[in-house]
Each structure stands twice: as C-alpha cells, then as structure tokens.
Amino acid sequence: MLSWILPAACLCAWFLVCHSGMVPGYLLPSPVEVGNACYLYIFGIPGDAPYSGRFWDDAAASLVRVGLGFAVAVVAGLPLGIASGRLPVVQRFLGLSINALRAVPGISWMPLAVVWFGIGLKTTVFLVGLAAFFPIFLNAAAGVQQVDPLLLQAGAMMGCGRFRSLFTILLPSAMPHLLTGLRLGLGISWAYLVLGELSGVPNGLGALIMDARMTGRIEIILVGIILIAIMGRLSDTVLKSFMKFCFKSARRML
Amino acid sequence: MELGGKPLLEAVDICRSYQLNGSVHQVLEGIRFTVRQGELTCVTGRSGCGKTTLLKILAGLTSPSSGRVLLEGSPVSGPGPDRCVVFQEYALFPWLTVEENIAFGLKIRRVEKASAKEAVERYLALMGLSRFKDYLPREISGGMKQRVALARVLILNPKILLMDEPFGALDAQTREDMQSLLLELWEELHHTILFVTHDANEALLLADRILIMGINPGRIVKEIRVDLPRPRAKEEREFLLMGQKLRAALRS
Ligand SMILES: Nc1ncnc2c1ncn2[C@@H]1O[C@H](COP(=O)(O)OP(=O)(O)OP(=O)(O)O)[C@@H](O)[C@H]1O
Ligand SMILES: [Mg+2]
C-alpha cells in the first residue's frame, strides 16, 4: 500500500504539469497520450501503425538477451566468487584483475564489443554478462567469507566433510548475500540491455527507445521506459520467488 | 559413581601458543589428564585461561602446538562425530528448524529416513522440544537452543561429549533446569562428559572430578575428586565445605 503512494503522486504531478500547460506537449506528453500509445503498442494489430502490436516481439527479444547475459554472469560469477571468498590463492590470483576491470565503465566496452561480435545478440549478451558479473561475484565472495567459522566447525564435528559442507553449510549460510548479488546483477542486466540494444539492433525495448527518438515520438520513449521498469521489477520478483521456492535458506533467512 | 572405567580420552602434554603481533602467547602448557569411560569431568578456571582452546584441541577443531590427544589409545587428527561439542554460542544452523537441526548429523551419515525420523522424535520428546520442532533457532529461547544443541549431538551417540560453558548464558532458573536435565540424561544414557564451566557451584553439582586450570600459561593446577552422593543439594554442609575448598583453589 505504502509503496504505491509515490508512483501515484508522480502520476498526479505529471497530470498537473501537462494540463496546466507549464511544459509543452512535444516535450512531455500527457499520461493519457502515453497510456494510449502503450495500449496500441501492446495490443494493437501489427502493421496498423508504426509501433502498433510490436511489444511481444520486442519483449521476447529483450528477455532472451537479458536471460542469456544474466545466465553467463551467474555461471561465471557464482563459482568464481565462492572460490575467491574461500580460497586465499584464488582471491590473490583474481582480486587485482577483477577490481581493475570493475573500474572500467561498462559503456566503454561497447565499441570493442561491436567490433568483436557485430551488432546484435552477442554484443548485448556480452555487455549484460560483463556488467552483471561484478555484483554477483563480489557478493558471493563476501557472503562465503563472512560465514561464521563456528558453523563450519559444528558441521565438521558432526561428520560433515569439506566438500559436503559447501552445500550443507556454506551456501545456505551465505544465501542472503548470494541473493543480493543475483538481484543486483539482474537489475544491472536491464540497464545494460538498453545499452546493448542502442547499438542498432532492429528489435527489443532498448531499440524501441532509440527508434522513437529518431522519429520524434516522445510518448513511445516514455512507453519504453515504463515497460522496462515494469519488466525489471517483475523479473526481480520472479527471481526472488524462484530462489525461495528452491532453497530453504532463502525462504527462512530473508 | 563408578570411577574405574577404562581410559577413554587422554590429553598428553598438550601445549598451544598463538602468535600475536610478533610475540608468542603461550595459552596452554603441558596439559595432561585422562577421562575415563562414563565419567563426568568438569574443567574450571578463570576466563581466558584457555578452556575453549583446550576443548577445541580435544575435539580436533584446533591442532596443538605439541602433544597429542588419544581416543581409546589411538591419536585423533581431526574433528569427528565420536567427540561431539556443545558450543558456548550454540552454533545452530539458522536456516534449519529445530527438528532439522537435530537431524543434521544423521543426514550426514545418510541414515535411512524412517529410522532417522524416529530417532529425532525420541530426542525431541526427551528434551521436551516436541511442540517446537518446526520453530527456527531465532524463534526459541536460549535454554531451548541449548537443548537443541545437546540433542543434535546426543543423537549421534558420541563416545565423549565435550561441553563448553553450555549454560553460561542462561538465567539462574533455566540453568538449574538444564543442569538437572543433563544429570538425568547422563544417568540414563551413560555418556562420558567433559564439561567446561567457570562456575564453581555448577562444577560441584555435576562432576565426579574437577580439574582446575591456572592462567598464563593455562595448565592444570589441581584435581579435586567429588564423592558427594547425587542428587546434590547446594545447601548441604558438605557441599558448602567443598565449595569453599574449590573457590580457595581457584583463587590461588
Ligand atoms: N585464534 C586465536 N588467536 C590468538 N589468540 C587466541 C585465539 N584463540 C584464543 N586465543 C587466546 O587464548 C586465550 C584463551 O582463550 P580461550 O577462549 O580458550 O579462553 P577461555 O578459558 O575459554 O575463556 P572464557 O571463560 O572467557 O570462555 C586468550 O587469551 C585468547 O586471547
Ligand atoms: Mg571459552
């Protein structure tokens, strides 16, 4: 309930600003206009108007890119993060390089990615994967590092070997950190999705925004922004529910 | 109580030092004693004299700088379910319920599901925890946590139970309840117990034998045999006399 007050207030302010004529319509279209455009974009018949009915294609393309990029980041970031949090050798081996790379803004990889992978799926997946890797890696490392050694000792005295304790103690214990890393990673995935799609792919929500800028359709830009916000929020909820569904520790420690 | 059981756990000249800021800090020196089968031994001494360190060495969780720990004559090299520890800080797994915490060790042993469930239920009942089996550690009181910590190791049938000030954080009443629960269990299950405490009364109430540790470096300075019949009452003359003796030994 409380969380809807701010969005509602923003909507009201938006209405007021538009209808009082303080800001001209070509800079900020009214909520009604944006709502209509959004409806057409989602439910319109494809081909009727420039953007009508394109949503499903765009959303599917974007979801595949985010999903693949995020998956790459998880597959690389979680094991490396866990290893670097527990094994000083790995920590020393990776620490410097990863911190140096982390300082490079993701956007500066774009020209290189376009040269390497061309325009399209691979470039976006690369950018998304790279950006999402860092929060996942860092949180996993911090999480397993902070596990109470006493819990591991308790496991050991009950006969739990080092390898088994990875799954029975270390990961459950680090679950809040792991989940935080995954959620941050997924959030940043959406940001870098738009960046990757700005490189000139034909479809996707980021491409929609770029396209609308060229054709001067401000309301479509806003539609794109709002839809990305909604999909980002939904994907976060799905991720959280999935983790809670799969892991006791995620259900009980959050 | 029968004290002539065969030697179970032997500490042979255990020393342990830590390096702190370049200087060597000798925590334990020449610790040597034997715990016999079925015996309830208390180790007591001032805070910081190395009781926890000693217990962890006996458990195999820390290695001694020199000296050996023998279990039934053979040296121990690491932690194992034959020497279970009840920690000062409970150390329960926060993402497991009371029931799952107690079942943890059996699961590690891959005990068949039905018989594990049966055993867990028996220990839940024994500890008076049946009603709380679905609670998480953060949802139960300190006394209950300590009962869970006790149950999860008793269920593994360890050869010796190492307890590190297990009731130190409890209020006086709960503490007395836990002490009598421990004695009841001990009489029923005939475990061998090494019990660390800094409370002289607790040691007198429980122990067959009390080892008093001195500080800097930690070493065993005195051994007191407690022959009082059980159940012991704190108001009895003999108990009070032994208490005076023990406290005098602790002070010196
Ligand atoms: N990992 C460690 N590194 C350095 N010094 C340590 C370490 N563990 C224990 N010590 C030192 O060993 C000494 C004994 O500690 P220990 O925890 O065994 O005492 P204790 O008798 O259990 O005290 P308490 O009754 O307060 O629990 C302390 O002086 C402590 O500083
Ligand atoms: Mg201690």
What are the strands of the beta sheet with B74-75, ordered from one edge?
B23-36, B7-20, B66-71, B74-75
Which numbered ligand comes closest to the C-alpha of B197? 1
Query: Residue A158: closest CA among chain B residues belongs to which residue?
Result: B81
pLDDT over 70 (residue A106): yes
pLDDT along chain B (252 residues), means of 10: 75 93 90 93 92 94 94 92 93 96 95 94 93 95 93 94 91 90 89 92 92 90 88 86 87 78
Residue B161 pairs with which residues in a beta bridge? B84, B193
Res. A170: pLDDT tops 60: yes
Instruction: In whole angstroms, give the CA distance from residue B71 to residue B156.
Output: 17
The answer to whether B105 contacts A159, with C-beta atoms less than 8 Å apart, is yes
- Tell if the CB–CB gap between B95 and A172 is shorter than 8 Å: yes
Domain B1-82+161-252 of CATH type 3.40.50.300: yes
CA–CA gap between residue B66 and residue B12 (Å, rounded): 9
pTM, two decimal places:
0.88
Burial of B73 (0-12, 13-18, 19+ CB in 10 A): exposed
| A51: its two tokens | 């953007």
The closest residue, in CA terms, to atom 8 on ligand 1 is: B53
- Tell me the shortest Cα–Cα distance from B184 to chain A, in angstroms: 23
**Nearest Cα residue to B168 out of B199, B139, B147:** B199
Give me the pLDDT at residue A233, please. Answer: 93
Mean pLDDT taken over chain A: 91
A185, amino acid identity: G
Q: What is the model's pLDDT at position B96?
A: 96
pLDDT at A33 over 90: no
A254 touching B, CB under 8 A?
no
Which of A49-58, A107-116, A162-171 ranks highest by mean pLDDT? A162-171
Which residues of B are less than 8 Å from A173 in CB distance?
A: 93-95
In short, whether B52's Cβ falls inside 6 Å of ligand 1 is yes
**Every domain of chain B and the residues it spans:** 1-82+161-252, 89-157
Phi, psi of A65 (to 5 degrees): -65, -50
Instruction: State whether residue A158 sits within 8 Å of chain B by CB.
Output: yes
* Ligand 1 atom closest to Cα of residue B54: 18
Residue of A nearest to B153 (CA): A158
Query: Cβ(B53) to ligand 1 under 6 A?
Result: yes
* B147 and A CB contact within 8 Å: no
Which string of DSSP letters, residue by residue, matches chain A? -GGGHHHHHHHHHHHHHHHTTSS-TTTS--HHHHHHHHHHHHHSPTTSSTTTT-HHHHHHHHHHHHHHHHHHHHHHHHHHHHHHHH-HHHHHHHHHHHHHHHTS-GGGGHHHHHHHH-SSHHHHHHHHHHHHHHHHHHHHHHHHHTS-HHHHHHHHHTT--HHHHIIIIIHHHHHHHHHHHHHHHHHHHHHHHHHHHTTT-SSSHHHHHHHHHHTT-HHHHHHHHHHHHHHHHHHHHHHHHHHHHH-HHHHH--
Report yes or no: B145 at the A interface, CB cutoff 8 Å: no
The tokens for B145 are: 């946590």
Chain A hits for B57, Cβ within 8 Å = none
| Nearest residue to B66 (alpha-carbon basis) of B2, B123, B17, B129 | B17
What per-residue confidence (pLDDT) applies to B1? 44
CA distances from B141 to A35, A85, B85, B144, B219 (A): 54, 33, 20, 5, 35
Residue type at B76 in one-letter notation: V
Topology of the domain covering A32-251: MetI-like fold (1.10.3720)
State the Cα–Cα distance between residues B92 and A14, nearest whole angstrom: 53
Which residues in chain A are closer than 8 Å to B92, comparing Cβ atoms? 154
Check CB contact of B110 with chain A, cutoff 8 Å: no
For residues B101 and B133, the answer to whether their CB atoms sit within 8 Å is no
Residue B8 host element (H or E): strand B7-20
Which chain A residues are closer than 8 Å to B89 by Cβ? 150
Q: Where does chain B have alpha helices with state H?
A: 51-59, 98-108, 113-126, 142-154, 172-189, 200-206, 237-251
Calculated CA dihedral for residues A168, A170, A174, A179, nearest 10 degrees: -60
The answer to whether the Cβ–Cβ distance between A158 and B83 falls below 8 Å is no
According to the model, what pLDDT value does residue B4 have?
63
Domain ranges of chain A: 32-251
B26: enclosing H helix or E strand: strand B23-36
Query: By CA distance, what is A153's nearest residue in B?
Result: B61
What pLDDT score does B3 carry? 52
Question: Across the interface, do A159 and B81 touch by the CB < 8 Å criterion?
Answer: yes
Encoded amino acid at A95, one letter: G
Measuring from atom 30 of ligand 1, which residue has the nearest CA?
B48
